[in-house]
Amino acid sequence: MRFRKLKKRLNANKEKVRDSRDMVAYAAIVDRIKAFVTDMFMIYVPILYLLAYVIMDGKEDFQSSLWAPLAGVLAYGLIYSFFLYKFGQTPGKKAYEIKVVDAKTRKNVTFAQAMLRFASFLFSATILLGLIVPFYRKDKRSLHDLIANTVVLAC
């Protein structure tokens, strides 16, 4: 069989698989990391700036305070969870065309589910084990995805 015919047949099979409802395109780990970094710069850094220079008297006051970093993380968690609940995407995830959905229904997550995902992300990032999990799974779900019953899909 000629290579061209074989290539056409393989491409036709790929399109059939993409049309199947059972086939799911999971987001690449690299895209998830880039989306995370983008969210940190677009959401978290402005929150920290507002806390340090608008609400407080500068970086020394921010660094000496025990409550300011906690307030920054809580504000980021609320904004992050709102974006996931309302749109299924944060600005960083939208930029890299990935979406967080419920693992069973494939619909947007609830606000409680988004908050649980954020809280469990803080835990899994602290122990670092949870961030290694997607490298060993076919569905690329992290520990916080498993806890919150979510999955990150490519749009």
Q: Is the pLDDT of residue 76 over 90?
A: yes
* Nearest to 91, CA basis, from 33, 38, 150: 38
- Per-residue pLDDT averaged across 44-72, rounded? 91
Rounded (5°) CA angle 56-38-149: 100
* Nearest to 134, CA basis, from 126, 119, 144, 122: 144
Rounded Cα gap, residues 109 and 105, in angstroms: 9
Mean pLDDT for all residues in the chain: 87
Rounded Cα gap, residues 108 and 81, in angstroms: 11
Q: Give the whole-number percent of the chain exceeding pLDDT 70.
A: 86
DSSP characters for 83-111?
A: HHHHHS--HHHHHTTEEEEETTT-SBPPH
Place 14 in a pLDDT band, splitting at 50, 70 and 90. Answer: very low
Tens digits of per-residue pLDDT, 126-144? Answer: 998 888 999 998 888 999 9
What is the model's pLDDT at position 2?
67
